[in-house]
């Protein structure tokens, strides 16, 4: 881990205008790297890929595992017993599959609804206009607990986009009192995200350094 960056992040969070939860984005990181997190006071990690999570799950010693990537319905069954939150619920069929799989193991799963606030075709997330209906459906499922919103904002997103996301969150929170997290901000924009209302951030390369992806044949 990059000690200087970790210190900078923790100092910023300590001075933030409201409590902020750090969920370290651990895509491509080894279990040994991930297990350094608790020593720095970071007790939650987020994985993007089901296969990667399964491959290193037995070696992970971090208390909270979140799933933060796009999730196919046919892979839900592999992770519901391993994660404490799914941050990427973006459609009703995914919500219903999580409900089905959690009911089978008598578990209530914390979930965030992912919103594509930037309208980018390359990114997952429901549209802001679809959010009310999806939130209504999620809140009615007995084995899902609606905890808020998540978004991956475009690079160089204007302040107005962060503010729009915060307004969506505030409106959601008014109706669903269980909604407490606005998950936004990664290594490059966590400061702006927090100052614009996010209370959960997902830094990755800031903590661990740039990712090195395995070469493909």
Could you tell me the two tokens for 113?
């609804």
Does 216 have pLDDT greater than 70? no
Are the CB atoms for 144 and 95 separated by under 8 Å? Answer: yes
In a domain, 199, yes or no: yes
Contact residues for 184 (Cβ-Cβ < 8 A; gap 6+): 150, 151, 152, 153, 162, 165, 193, 198, 200, 201
Whole-number pLDDT of residue 213: 56
Average pLDDT of the chain is 96
Rounded distance between C-alpha atoms, residue 157 and residue 161, angstroms? 6
Give the residue numbers spanning the domain of 122: 3-208
Segments in the chain forming alpha helices (H): 3-15, 31-34, 50-56, 92-104, 131-140, 159-175, 190-195, 205-208
In a domain, 215, yes or no: no
In a domain, 74, yes or no: yes
Here the CATH number for the domain that contains residue 41 is 3.20.20.10
> What is the distance, to the nearest Å, from the Cα of residue 102 to the centroid of all Cα atoms in its chain?
19
Whole-number pLDDT of residue 99: 99
Whole-number pLDDT of residue 212: 62
- Give the rounded percent of residues in the chain with a pLDDT score beyond 90: 91
In a domain, 153, yes or no: yes
Rounded distance between C-alpha atoms, residue 115 and residue 53, angstroms? 23
In a domain, 216, yes or no: no
Residue 214: band (very low, low, confident or very high) from pLDDT cuts 50, 70, 90 = low
In a domain, 217, yes or no: no
Reported pTM: 0.95
In a domain, 141, yes or no: yes
> Cβ-count burial of 94 within 10 angstroms (0-12 exposed, 13-18 middle, 19+ buried)?
buried
- The number of distinct structural domains making up the chain is 1
In a domain, 102, yes or no: yes
């Amino acid at each position: 881990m990059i000690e200087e960056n970790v210190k900078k992040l923790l100092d910023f969070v300590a001075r933030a205008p409201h409590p902020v939860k750090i969920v370290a984005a651990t895509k491509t990181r080894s279990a040994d790297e991930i297990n350094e997190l608790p020593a720095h006071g970071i007790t939650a990690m987020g994985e993007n890929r089901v296969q990667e999570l399964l491959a290193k799950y037995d070696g992970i010693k971090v208390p909270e595992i979140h799933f933060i990537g796009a999730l196919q319905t046919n892979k839900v069954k592999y992770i519901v017993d391993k994660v404490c939150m799914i941050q990427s619920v973006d459609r009703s069929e995914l919500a219903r599959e999580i409900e089905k799989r959690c009911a089978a193991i008598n578990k209530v799963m914390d979930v965030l609804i992912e919103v594509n606030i930037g309208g980018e075709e390359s990114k997952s997330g429901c549209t802001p206009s679809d959010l009310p209906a999806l939130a209504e459906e999620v809140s009615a499922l007995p084995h899902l607990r609606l905890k808020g919103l998540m978004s991956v904002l475009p690079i160089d997103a204007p302040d107005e986009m962060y503010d729009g996301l915060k307004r969506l969150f505030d409106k959601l929170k008014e109706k669903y009192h269980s909604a407490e997290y606005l998950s936004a901000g990664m290594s490059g924009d966590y400061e702006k995200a927090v100052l614009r209302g996010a209370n959960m951030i997902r830094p990755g390369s800031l903590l661990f350094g740039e990712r090195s992806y395995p070469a493909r044949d």
